[in-house]
Amino acid sequence: MSEAIEASTPDVEAAPAPTKVKAENVDVFYAEKQALFGVSLDVRENEVTALIGPSGCGKSTFLRCINRMNDTIPICRVTGDIAIDEQDIYDPSIDVVQLRARVGMVFQKPNPFPKSIYENVAYGPRIHGMAQGKADIDDLVESSLQRAGLWDEVKDRLGEPGTGLSGGQQQRLCIARAIAVNPDVILMDEPCSALDPIATARIEELMDELRQNYTIMIVTHSMQQAARVSQRTAFFHLGYLVESGPTEMIFTNPDDKRTQDYITGRFG
């Protein structure tokens, strides 16, 4: 994380990572009630971007716009532009199902399918035609579980139900399931809030490894977690994006007073 700060020295200025997800002036309405007001945010490739803020400020709502999960809520209306790799994802010609294969999601409460561990991970590749034949799928399952850091614990019991694992293992299974389809972006909605500290630490380690191959956006209630895992942080408050920037800067020297109040614990 400190590499991002040292890069500001003139001689070894590293080019900023390209923008993967670009949100411009995004408004979200639930029936008549507006939940997000003109949110504009750039998410850089192969970085972990944390969205922080008090409860009900719209961070999860914004996250769910990126993979258009808000479409499943009939009263929800999204306006503005969100582009991934410079392609507007709300364009009518975009197939939502394919979008969700490119943008994976891990939910707050681990929700593995009530199938075997193998089937959980194999389902995505199977429906997207990513593998031919059982050997192919076996390889894919193994590599996904390896990258999620779960392989050693479950390699002898792939046929057992995914719901029989512990909470932390279930969440890692959900991460394996998400990365099995090789998405470009992984969205994580408070992935550790239902887990104990040790499981949380393992998943945070995992995020650091994963960001080398994926772009990660994480919503978190814990400022310490945001400080630990992310390179950039965005602070939301009452539906507005108050401030965003490099994590170190947000936590040591924020521009906005509301950000200052939040991180020092005055509210939230």
How far apart, in whole angstroms, are the C-alpha atoms of residue 9 and residue 158? 50
What character string, x for contact with another protein (CB under 8 A) and - otherwise, covers 68-97?
A: -x--x-x----------------------x
Q: How far is the CB of 154 from another protein (least distance, A)?
A: 18
Q: How far is the CB of 5 from another protein (least distance, A)?
A: 34
Question: Do 108 and 120 touch, CB atoms closer than 8 A?
Answer: no
Question: Binding of another protein at residue 107 (CB under 8 A)?
Answer: yes
Give the H or E element holding residue 79: strand 76-84
- Give helix 167-180 / helix 117-127 axis angle, nearest 10°: 20
- Give helix 197-210 / helix 167-180 axis angle, nearest 10°: 20
Question: Binding of another protein at residue 30 (CB under 8 A)?
Answer: no
Question: Binding of another protein at residue 112 (CB under 8 A)?
Answer: yes
With CB under 8 A as the contact rule, the residue among 16, 38, 114, 159 that binds another protein is 114
Question: Binding of another protein at residue 157 (CB under 8 A)?
Answer: no
What is the separation of C-alpha 70 from the centre of its chain, rounded to a whole number of angstroms? Answer: 15
Residue ranges in 171-200 that form contacts with another protein under rule CB under 8 A: 174, 177-178, 181
Q: Which residues, including other chains, have CB under 8 Å from residue 216's CB and lie 6 or more apart? A: 47, 48, 49, 185, 186, 187, 188, 207, 210
Q: Which residues pair with 35 in a beta bridge?
A: none
Question: Binding of another protein at residue 202 (CB under 8 A)?
Answer: no
Question: Binding of another protein at residue 169 (CB under 8 A)?
Answer: no
Q: How far is the CB of 51 from another protein (least distance, A)?
A: 18
Helix (H, G, I), strand (E, B) or coil at 229: helix
Residue 158 CA: distances (Å) to CA of 60, 124, 154, 175: 32, 16, 6, 16
Q: How far is the CB of 140 from another protein (least distance, A)?
A: 13
Nearer to another protein, 129 or 197 (CB): 129
Applying CB under 8 A, the residues found at the interface with another protein are 67, 69, 72, 74, 97-98, 100-102, 104-107, 109, 111-114, 123-124, 127-128, 161, 163, 174, 177-178, 181
